[in-house]
Structure 1
Amino acid sequence: MSQTEQGAMVTVDNCEREPIHIPGIIQPHGALVAVNIATGRPRYASQNLEEIAGVTPAAFFERGFEALFGPGLVDEDLAANVPVGRPAYIGTYATSANRHVLVDAHQHAGLCILELHPTTNQRGGELPQMYPLVRRSMGAFAQTRSIAELCGHAVREIQRLTGLDRVMVYRFDDEWHGQVVAEERTPEMPSYLGLKFPADDIPRQARELYALTRMRMIPNVGYAAVPLTAAPGADETPLDMTYCGLRGVSPIHIEYLHNMNVGCSMSIALMAGGKLWGLIACHHRTPKILGHELRLACEFLGEALGLMLYEKQIQEAATERIALSEIQSRLLTAMARDDNFVAALIREKQDLLGFAHADGAALLLDEQCVLLGQTPDEATVRRLAAWLSENHAQDIWSTEDLSRDAAAAAPIDNAAGALAACISRAQRQYVLWFRREVAQTINWGGDPGKHMHAEERGGKLSLHRRRSFEIWQEIVHRQSLPWSPAQLRAADEFRSAIVSIVLHQAQELALLSAELRRSNKELEAFSYSVSHDLRAPFRHIAGFAELLKQHASGQLDATAMGYIQTMLEAAEYAGSLVDGLLSFAQMGRTGLLYATVHVERITHDLVRHFTMQNRDRMLLFDIGHLPSVQGDETMLRLVMENLLSNAVKYTRKKPEAHISINAETKPDEIIFTVSDNGTGFDMRYVNKLFGVFQRLHVAEEFEGTGIGLANVRRIVERHGGRVWAQGTPGEGAAFSFSIPRRDGPPPAQPQPLKKEIANL
């Protein structure tokens, strides 16, 4: 019995539950077989197996893989060794009927599933042929400076590679509505650029499958479905085809594509930070089959594009956080200098409003209600605060539609959106920011209220997609611009700061302000999470580039091999930058292991190391007496290594490099100084030296990541010391750091004030 006989019509009642992962059918451009891994018995076969592979389903059910490929051609333990989840290409085989097929295989739900694609290329995957094309596309991606520019390059490159009539980047919003943010098309195709599409166009279960499988190919929208057949005597449980590229398509989606006048469709998931960010949606007016290698290349570009989108999202968020941090630092400084912090906030009105990009603010503190800028009246503000205290337990609450989300506190005039930071729920103390209404025009691809309609068939209502995708405009009133995640985080930090003022003395507030300024500037959390998440992708890029280099050796000319080498070097540099970021972030987390540190011995070891590394240079080291100190040997070694490495690097242009390492013992501390006769620096920029990514020389002259001196400062300050530098352009520089004198490890340090407030 074929599995399609068990299917049911998709109706109004079950559309949201349509089991698109078990359609019981496949697309006809390939064949599918499945074997039970535990028993080795054939379990399923598509009815076109003979057409594709020259072997009948009955023969496969009787003799399994041997019927397909002959004895010994496929390992007996193949089923146990194919990847779990997303399919992988395992080779090109000649079947027992002498048909050549490309084989994609995967494990899922206890089955080994093979998808067979007919091919005339007996050698199989010719990925090196795609390399120059993919390399060019990656190069174009890397030159972009924004998400919009990156998406624009992506659609152009994908269309150039595939020749498809229309390629779009389709971005999901928080409610899973999609918008076309970039498009490349032939003149015959209608434009969807800028149009928005309702979430139901790509329902939840389809989005989940995209996140798992990453690609969906429908070469012929008008295909004749091929049923799957279960082995004789086996139960009729439908095959779970979650990861199958040949998986049959929902009839509702087929109708959707027909209504778009599309003959071929390909969709590539864009995963940014582990979340489905959007799709590369490709259409062709007529049926078209893309080659196996080309599909793999497109899938690879989709993976790379997702990583780059995530990186640019992080960069844009970091830029916004830095700007907000600067405003926050000014506000906190002003409050720390004034016994009445409410008066300080009133005085810094522009920063208070600019902090949240707000049109008005209300301070409900110490029984006061201070209104600044464009706000509702005092009675309305107090009514809103009372409603918040009774109905919302979270510290931060926001809405871009007060009339919708705070209807119980209505009417609320003179504001459309609000952001609330709770200082004390019991006393109804809040800081509130307000935004005015911004009327928005949304261009939908068809009427979103009529994206589906029902027709009665056989006594049941069946669903049909809308037939028109003409622009349908919606004017949205009574809403403000939404609050960004960075603004919400900044508001939460600001709330914590105000709570600390209420609970701590002014001296503690000053410490908090300094801590927040530094921590926000360095973005420790950002550097740790990004560097940790990006280590593996960069290693993969370097690894696969090395494999390409080995595989293509002798096939590509010197220029192409040079490109591969450039990619390798760029990946290695990016990896070192990520490692540096991770190291910097970990410096603030790793505990110090105090012991006696023999600085002089460490220095001599490092000098020998740098001398061996630079045998072609004249390096003259002058090492004075360097006392031992109490500290973490590994970290202090890193301090000296960074300073000596910089001295060696920045004396590179000198015929003779003179580097001296000296120490000065004082009653409370020991000062170590590394000086050189190198390129030096302008003292106007001395305050930038020890910041993350702060470089005073261009990368073309001197390599580096800009993290080393930031690590030096962090390590020294964790030891209770300080760092400073002096320099003269063209003459040299001297870097000094101090370590407190002590006989043993210092007493346990108190928890940083920022963490204390976070735990209130």
Structure 2
Amino acid sequence: MKIKDIVNRDLVNLQNCDQEPIHIPGSIQPHGFLIAITKETWEIRFCSENVIDFIGLSHKQLLGKKITEIFDDIFFGKVIQCKDYAVGESKLIQGKIEDKEFDFTAHQNEDVIILESEIHIDNTPKNDLFDMSKQFMDYMEDSHTLIRLCELVASGIKKVTDYDRVMIYRFDKDYNGEVIAEAKQDKLESFLGLHYPHTDIPVQARELYIKNLLRVIGDVNYKPVPIYTIDDSENQNLDLSCSVLRSVSPIHVQYLHNIGVGATLTISLIHKKKLWGLVACHHYSPKYLHYETKLAAKLQGHFITSQIEIREQNEQYATSQKLHQAVDDLISRKFSADRNSLKDIVIDSNVLQLCKAAGISILIDKKEVYKSGLTPADGDIQKLAEYVKHAIDKEQYATHFITAELPDFKNITASGIAGINYHALDKTSNSCIMWYKPETITEVKWAGDPNKAIEKDKNGLSPRKSFELWGEKVKNQSIPWSQPDLIASSNFANFLQKHLGYIFLAEEEEKQRQMTEILKEVNSELENINWISTHDLQEPLRKIQIITSYVLSVENTLSEASYEKLQKINKSANRMQALISDILRYTKLKASTEILESVDLKNIVTEVIQEVDDALEAKKANIYISDLPEMSGIPFLLAQLFLNLISNSLKFADATRVLSIHIVQEGIIVKEEQEYYKISYTDNGIGFNKDYNELIFKIFSRLHSVAEYPGSGIGLALCKKIMKTHKGFIEAQGIPEKGAIFYLYFPVSKNS
């Protein structure tokens, strides 16, 4: 059987370390040994070279053997149970080899189960489960903020592990770390408040911290122990992401040498499935921990993660309560329902204090600006609102770094503004409210220059060696908008949105009131004109008719020209009399409030035909009437409707053929959830072009000259008005030289 080691010998340097496969180093730290067993055959597939130092058997003797040849059946049963573990989950199991007991940390990975045993450490934790639980309760009682809790946990972990220094890091969104709590030996310099650049922990290392929540380096000067496997296939690797003995990157070892650390313990702080921070324990000489000591420290870290959201929410809640009360106080004020109230709102200091802003602006309909405090120019406010609405497309948007997120608006920062908090006030126009924060120049204390994460010396590139305090002045940024700031401003924006609705409604009501007043005046004038038209004008018109008729009947001395002129005067007077009569009928219909009654439509049409029997006889017209419905209507208006239609057919009859009229019920149709009787009125007159299907119903509209076809142009307009009075409607379709069809739609009432 041929065997080989799986050590990753790819050259790693600071130019390619971000691509280093640190999860498959092919080696372990020497304070323990590793065995990996296949889940399919239960054979030992991988084994560390130093196994002989612990159990007296070499890796060559172990590789390829079944686990039952080395361990007893009891241990084998425990190993089988590992198949049920979740990937990454580890458990402690005991086993014997030739009467020698070993503690193994076991976890499964892909097709193997990995067993790791560390050297026996005689420093079991003094705290039992009761003491640990009591300690957690003390943490709960003695801390009201997250920072205070982290301080207590750092002290607790130092007490349990006895490391020289315990620090708790919190990462920002870019994974730069800040030391927010620290417990240390008195003689050591404090690192509290220092910042460490994200380059100190590469991306792949952060990913491993999420998979494996605890990592120990017992001695940074260790010599890696290679892992061997059976050489029966190419590219064999063993994923050690969740291993407790995994050998670390040589770049990281160099980094630890540079800061003078001899041993480390790192605990991941995971919040919402992301790396929130780390507990970093440093010892300045080699140090190894018992399994239960590591577990106790790990539980302390887990306690922090369990409290992160609760503590942050509690802190935000206290602030939110104050801001919520401030919003309520503002909303309870009685602002007038006009645009002057917007001036009062922007100058109210309480509105600024809602989110600790220095300026505020309200933009209405893209152009009207109300503002106070530290704000951009009106034109910049309009451009900024337009950009956020369309380019960013969010109803709420906030930034404390305008130059980075909105580079097109760097000119705004010239006026001292670095942060904006935008809220849209409607979805259609560009109305919005914006709060502004000034630039706040701050100094960040870094543990060494973050721009020199890599240094060059006589040996080439290496991790930074300088960790001296380095101050960086941060410009062009404001104090960030906190979550309570955003919630309070959002609540006030919702109030302002409603308040604007009241303003616009009041303005619309005022417009309607003014329009109503104007309409009343116009209607009054129209009534006066109507009175003059239908009464005062009729008297002189009757005199004209009487005089011209008398002269035409008794005067024989008139010349032929004078006689024709008098005839024209008499005809014009008669036409004017008919027009006045039609106007009077139209206005009476407009004011009609008669109650609908049950009518037989066929009877009404029959009576109308009898009324115009002479005119129909003169034209030798034929009329066909089908069964028509009984319905609700106003009898005299329905009679006027069909009288106008028949008169229209008689007037526009085609002289080349006999006039034929059909009045037919075509059934019941449904439009917009309303049932209608559909009645067609068809004639074979001269017809009209389809372009005039709507125009013919407008009052005084004419398609022909008075000389060709006399009339007032009111008849069909009157028909439309009658249909509207009956809550129905009328449509027309004309075909030149063939005739016209009018469709009458009467609503079907419940009593019909």
User: If the length of structure 2 is used for normalisation, what is the TM-score?
Assistant: 0.62
> Any idea what SS the aligned residue of 1:243 has?
coil
**What corresponds to 1:112 in structure 2?**
113
**What corresponds to 2:326 in structure 1?**
327
> Any idea what SS the aligned residue of 2:279 has?
strand
CA-CA distance at 1:170 after TM superposition: 1.0
CA-CA distance at 1:13 after TM superposition: 4.4
CA-CA distance at 1:286 after TM superposition: 0.2
After TM superposition, the structure 1 stretch with the greater mean CA deviation from structure 2, 145-154 or 325-334, is 325-334
After TM superposition, the structure 1 stretch with the greater mean CA deviation from structure 2, 492-501 or 224-233, is 492-501
Structure 2 residue 91 is the aligned partner of structure 1 residue 75 = no
- Pair 382,359 (structure 1): closer, same or farther in 2 beyond 3 Å: same
Number of residue pairs matched by the alignment:
500
Tell me how far apart the structure 2 counterparts of residues 354 and 28 of structure 1 sit (CA, whole Å): 60
The amino acid that maps onto 2:284 is R
**What corresponds to 2:489 in structure 1?**
491
The amino acid that maps onto 2:24 is I
The amino acid that maps onto 2:138 is A
The amino acid that maps onto 2:148 is E
Tell me how far apart the structure 2 counterparts of residues 341 and 315 of structure 1 sit (CA, whole Å): 39
Preserved contact between residue 55 and residue 68 of structure 1 (Cα < 8 Å):
no
The amino acid that maps onto 1:389 is K
CA-CA distance at 1:234 after TM superposition: 4.3
CA-CA distance at 1:478 after TM superposition: 2.0
Tell me how far apart the structure 1 counterparts of residues 276 and 341 of structure 2 sit (CA, whole Å): 41
> Any idea what SS the aligned residue of 2:411 has?
coil
**What corresponds to 2:590 in structure 1?**
none
After TM superposition, the structure 1 stretch with the greater mean CA deviation from structure 2, 185-194 or 246-255, is 185-194
Alignment of 1:363-374 (within 5 A): 363-366=362-365, 367-374=367-374
**What corresponds to 2:383 in structure 1?**
383
- Pair 72,385 (structure 1): closer, same or farther in 2 beyond 3 Å: closer
**What corresponds to 2:201 in structure 1?**
202
User: If the length of structure 1 is used for normalisation, what is the TM-score?
Assistant: 0.61
**What corresponds to 1:358 in structure 2?**
357
> Any idea what SS the aligned residue of 2:70 has?
helix
Tell me how far apart the structure 2 counterparts of residues 386 and 479 of structure 1 sit (CA, whole Å): 22
Preserved contact between residue 93 and residue 103 of structure 2 (Cα < 8 Å):
yes
- Pair 76,145 (structure 1): closer, same or farther in 2 beyond 3 Å: closer
Preserved contact between residue 93 and residue 103 of structure 1 (Cα < 8 Å):
yes
The amino acid that maps onto 1:409 is F
CA-CA distance at 1:499 after TM superposition: 4.2
CA shift digits 1:451-479 (9 cap, x unpaired): 1235798xxxx752100111000011221
Structure 2 residue 212 is the aligned partner of structure 1 residue 213 = yes
Preserved contact between residue 215 and residue 266 of structure 1 (Cα < 8 Å):
yes
> Any idea what SS the aligned residue of 1:75 has?
helix
Tell me how far apart the structure 1 counterparts of residues 305 and 18 of structure 2 sit (CA, whole Å): 28
Preserved contact between residue 362 and residue 369 of structure 1 (Cα < 8 Å):
yes
CA-CA distance at 1:210 after TM superposition: 1.6
Preserved contact between residue 6 and residue 236 of structure 2 (Cα < 8 Å):
no
> Any idea what SS the aligned residue of 1:364 has?
strand
Preserved contact between residue 52 and residue 99 of structure 1 (Cα < 8 Å):
no
**What corresponds to 1:286 in structure 2?**
285
Overall identity of the aligned pairs, in %: 28
Preserved contact between residue 437 and residue 477 of structure 1 (Cα < 8 Å):
yes
Tell me how far apart the structure 1 counterparts of residues 416 and 124 of structure 2 sit (CA, whole Å): 64
CA-CA distance at 1:94 after TM superposition: 2.1
C-alpha RMSD of the superposition: 2.9
Preserved contact between residue 435 and residue 480 of structure 1 (Cα < 8 Å):
yes
Preserved contact between residue 105 and residue 113 of structure 1 (Cα < 8 Å):
yes
CA-CA distance at 1:30 after TM superposition: 1.2
After TM superposition, the structure 1 stretch with the greater mean CA deviation from structure 2, 317-326 or 22-31, is 317-326
Tell me how far apart the structure 1 counterparts of residues 479 and 136 of structure 2 sit (CA, whole Å): 35
Structure 2 residue 429 is the aligned partner of structure 1 residue 427 = yes
Selected match of 1:469 from 467, 470, 490: 467
Alignment of 1:494-573 (within 5 A): 494-500=492-498
**What corresponds to 2:297 in structure 1?**
298
> Any idea what SS the aligned residue of 1:21 has?
coil
Tell me how far apart the structure 2 counterparts of residues 323 and 506 of structure 1 sit (CA, whole Å): 31
Tell me how far apart the structure 1 counterparts of residues 345 and 313 of structure 2 sit (CA, whole Å): 33
- Pair 5,117 (structure 1): closer, same or farther in 2 beyond 3 Å: closer
CA-CA distance at 1:8 after TM superposition: 1.3
> Any idea what SS the aligned residue of 1:411 has?
helix
CA-CA distance at 1:109 after TM superposition: 1.6
Larger radius of gyration: 2
In structure 2, list runs of 5 or more residues that go unmatched: 506-752
> Any idea what SS the aligned residue of 2:190 has?
coil
CA-CA distance at 1:52 after TM superposition: 2.3
CA-CA distance at 1:228 after TM superposition: 1.2
Tell me how far apart the structure 2 counterparts of residues 129 and 12 of structure 1 sit (CA, whole Å): 43
**What corresponds to 1:28 in structure 2?**
30
The amino acid that maps onto 2:405 is D
Alignment of 1:163-242 (within 5 A): 163-242=162-241
> Any idea what SS the aligned residue of 1:228 has?
strand
Preserved contact between residue 267 and residue 279 of structure 1 (Cα < 8 Å):
yes
Tell me how far apart the structure 2 counterparts of residues 120 and 417 of structure 1 sit (CA, whole Å): 55
Structure 2 residue 46 is the aligned partner of structure 1 residue 44 = yes
Preserved contact between residue 448 and residue 470 of structure 2 (Cα < 8 Å):
yes
CA-CA distance at 1:304 after TM superposition: 1.2
The amino acid that maps onto 1:140 is D
Tell me how far apart the structure 1 counterparts of residues 490 and 504 of structure 2 sit (CA, whole Å): 20
Preserved contact between residue 389 and residue 425 of structure 1 (Cα < 8 Å):
no
CA-CA distance at 1:420 after TM superposition: 1.2
CA-CA distance at 1:442 after TM superposition: 0.6
CA-CA distance at 1:76 after TM superposition: 7.6
- Pair 120,212 (structure 1): closer, same or farther in 2 beyond 3 Å: closer
CA-CA distance at 1:31 after TM superposition: 1.1
CA-CA distance at 1:441 after TM superposition: 0.7
- Pair 335,11 (structure 1): closer, same or farther in 2 beyond 3 Å: farther
> Any idea what SS the aligned residue of 1:48 has?
helix
CA-CA distance at 1:151 after TM superposition: 1.5
- Pair 24,504 (structure 1): closer, same or farther in 2 beyond 3 Å: farther
Tell me how far apart the structure 1 counterparts of residues 250 and 133 of structure 2 sit (CA, whole Å): 38
Tell me how far apart the structure 2 counterparts of residues 337 and 127 of structure 1 sit (CA, whole Å): 70
Tell me how far apart the structure 1 counterparts of residues 484 and 97 of structure 2 sit (CA, whole Å): 57
Preserved contact between residue 104 and residue 115 of structure 1 (Cα < 8 Å):
yes
Tell me how far apart the structure 1 counterparts of residues 73 and 301 of structure 2 sit (CA, whole Å): 38
Tell me how far apart the structure 2 counterparts of residues 333 and 443 of structure 1 sit (CA, whole Å): 45
Tell me how far apart the structure 2 counterparts of residues 26 and 304 of structure 1 sit (CA, whole Å): 29
CA-CA distance at 1:177 after TM superposition: 0.6
Tell me how far apart the structure 2 counterparts of residues 244 and 22 of structure 1 sit (CA, whole Å): 10
Structure 2 residue 416 is the aligned partner of structure 1 residue 417 = no
CA shift digits 1:303-325 (9 cap, x unpaired): 11221233211211222332232
Alignment of 1:399-410 (within 5 A): 399-410=399-410
CA shift digits 1:691-710 (9 cap, x unpaired): xxxxxxxxxxxxxxxxxxxx
- Pair 161,76 (structure 1): closer, same or farther in 2 beyond 3 Å: closer
After TM superposition, the structure 1 stretch with the greater mean CA deviation from structure 2, 307-316 or 492-501, is 492-501
> Any idea what SS the aligned residue of 2:433 has?
strand
CA-CA distance at 1:16 after TM superposition: 2.0
In structure 1, list runs of 5 or more residues that go unmatched: 508-760
CA-CA distance at 1:118 after TM superposition: 3.1
> Any idea what SS the aligned residue of 2:280 has?
strand
CA-CA distance at 1:429 after TM superposition: 2.1
Preserved contact between residue 268 and residue 299 of structure 1 (Cα < 8 Å):
yes
